[in-house]
Amino acid sequence: MGSVTVRAPAKINLQLAVGGRRPDGYHELATVFHAVSLYDDVTATEAATLQVTVGGDREIPFDGVPRDDSNLAARAAIALAEHAGLEPEVHLHIHKGIPLAGGMAGGSADAAAALVACDALWGTGLSRAELHTLATTLGSDVPFALMGGTAVGLGRGELLTPALARGRFEWVLALSDEGLSTAEVYAECDRLRGRRVLPEPRVSDALMAAVRAGDAHALGPALRNDLQPAACSLRPGLRQILDIGDEYGALGSVVSGSGPTVALLARGTEHALDLAVALGASGACQSVKRASGPATAARAVEGSAARRV
**Which residues participate in catalysis according to the annotation?**
11, 141
Report d(CA 288, CA 285) in Å as an integer.
Answer: 7
Give the 3-state secondary structure of residue 53: strand
CB burial class (10 A; 0-12, 13-18, 19+) of residue 293?
Answer: buried
By residue count, the chain amounts to 309
The alpha-helical segments, DSSP class H, found in the chain are 72-84, 106-122, 128-136, 142-147, 182-193, 205-213, 216-222, 228-234, 238-247, 269-282
Report d(CA 250, CA 244) in Å as an integer.
Answer: 9
Q: Judge contact between 39 and 33, C-beta under 8 A.
A: no
What one-character DSSP code corresponds to residue 307? Answer: B
